[in-house]
Amino acid sequence: MDNFNRILQIQNDINLSFVAATYYQMAMFQNKDTEKYDLSQKTKKNEYLSLALKIYEQTKEELFVLKCHREFLMLENYPSKDECVSILNRYYKYCQDQQIDLKLIIDVYQRIGYSYYEDFEYEQALQCFIKTVLYFPDEIRYQRIIADIYIKKKNFILAIEYLNKTLKLTTDPKIIVDCYEFMGSEYFKQNDFNIALKYFAQSVQICNDSNDNIQFHDDTFGFELKRKSQIATFDRIRTSNYTEQIQHMMEQNITNNNENHLEDFIHETIFDNYIHMGNLCDGDDDKALYYYTKALKIYGSSTKLKAIRNIESTCTSKINSIFQSNFPYDKLIKDIPSIFQISKLKKRIEEENDLFERNYFNELKQNQLAKLYSHIGNIYTKMKEYEEAKLYYDKSIRYYETFPLLFHLVIADLYSRQGFIIDAQQPNDTGFVTSCTEAEELFDKAIATIYNNDNSLS
């Protein structure tokens, strides 16, 4: 610091840029002893940076102005996104003026953009993604998220524009299905029912025609649909019905936390089924070992199972018998990867995983179709084509009723929509009493669906 001070004593005789650089280096010198970097050092750094910045602004050295602002930002423990973007905008302009590649800056814009988006600050997110898409015009994800922001901002024209831009950049069926669905929804909001119907119909067709290895999106019910598909991979299932057991559990008010207890219950069900199937493999050690090791793996990941199942009698002793060994269960769990190196087991695992994936992807596909059918039903209702509306609501209900515990609110809503359809039709014909009764039955069915599947109301 003494050398810096000697330079400053003659600052009137030296170039201003050199003086600014001296103050800047004095600020950086405060960082050297990181273990003793205290409040007083931060204060000094702030003071020296302010002096450096003032001179750099006089000399119009934009790069060093930006470096000072960056250091100011780092002095704050948690600088705001707005402060970061403010500096970033100046870097952006500087790089444009100097014809410097913008990629690193754009990468920061898109990261901050996602942060704004997750915090529901859509206008700020939009500004970040607009800059991003100017640099990456062919990146589908940025076009898609801009479209989504415009949908949330209820800007119909720009939402459709960016959905169309997304469509031009992709051949991915799941993205196309999503875009057509959103376009249909946007036209529906504008009461342009014929165009909305066209896009929903295109979405349905592409979804129906897609291969079984396409994974459609459903973040809301991902956990439950995965478990539902996993149950479907068992080639033998015990006599008790899976859905009825869950229904009974909910009716008995066993849990106040449905999701956690549902997960525990399904783990127990899968574990018991694997043990049951292993016990049925008389004389086929490879097949039995396959099922027992799968059960062991589930056991190792479930705290609840460890409390309620005797792993020694149900599983460990049987595996040790096959291998003529005497390993404890934790040793066997650790060695599961080496157990699965056996070629027959590896093939069986691949077959089961393939089956599960097909079941799961098909579940997501059917879920996507059910949502689309519901949208189409809404359009026909608005168009007062009630028979068509009822037809599509029925299609939607048929899927959702495959897992009524999960989708009971959706099912109830669809029943009520059908009731409104009946109620909205001509009241003056001779069948009015019958129609009125049918509508009441559908409303009653909707209410019963909610009460029968939601123990918080009982």
| Domain range summary for the chain, segments of one domain joined by + | 137-210, 222-351, 383-457
pLDDT the model gives residue 239: 37
Tally Cβ neighbours within 10 Å of residue 110: 21
Q: Are 196 and 376 in contact (CB under 8 A)?
A: no
Residue 293 has pLDDT above 70, yes or no: yes
Give the pLDDT of residue 131: 92
Cα angle 162-91-113, degrees, rounded to a multiple of 5? 35
CA–CA separation, 362 and 360 (whole Å): 5
The CATH code for residues 137-210 is: 1.25.40.10
The pLDDT tens digits of the residues spanning 331-384 come to 776 666 665 565 456 666 677 777 777 777 888 888 889 999 999 999 999 999
Q: What are phi and psi of 284, to 5 degrees?
A: -110, 85
Closest C-alpha among 48, 45, 64, 47 to residue 56: 64
- pLDDT higher than 90, residue 396: yes
Whether 322 has a pLDDT exceeding 80, the answer reads no
Of all residues in the chain, the percent with pLDDT exceeding 90 is: 24
Pairwise CA distance, residues 286 & 308, whole Å: 27
pLDDT digits (tens, 9 = 90+) for 156-212: 999 999 999 999 999 999 899 999 999 999 999 999 999 999 999 999 999 888 876
**DSSP assignment of 154-204:** T-HHHHHHHHHHHHHT---HHHHHHHHHHHHHHHHHTT-HHHHHHHHHHHH
Q: What is the pLDDT of residue 458?
A: 45
Element at 272 (helix H, strand E): helix 258-279
What Cα–Cα distance (Å) separates residue 400 from each residue in 161, 234, 364, 412? 33, 22, 12, 10
Sequence-distant contacts of 49-53: CB under 8 A, at least 24 apart: 49/23, 49/24, 49/75, 51/20, 51/23, 52/20, 52/21, 52/23, 52/24, 52/27
Cα gap 122→113, rounded to integer Å: 9
**Does the pTM of the predicted model rise above 0.85?**
no
d(CA 396, CA 246): 22
More confident residue, 197 or 250: 197
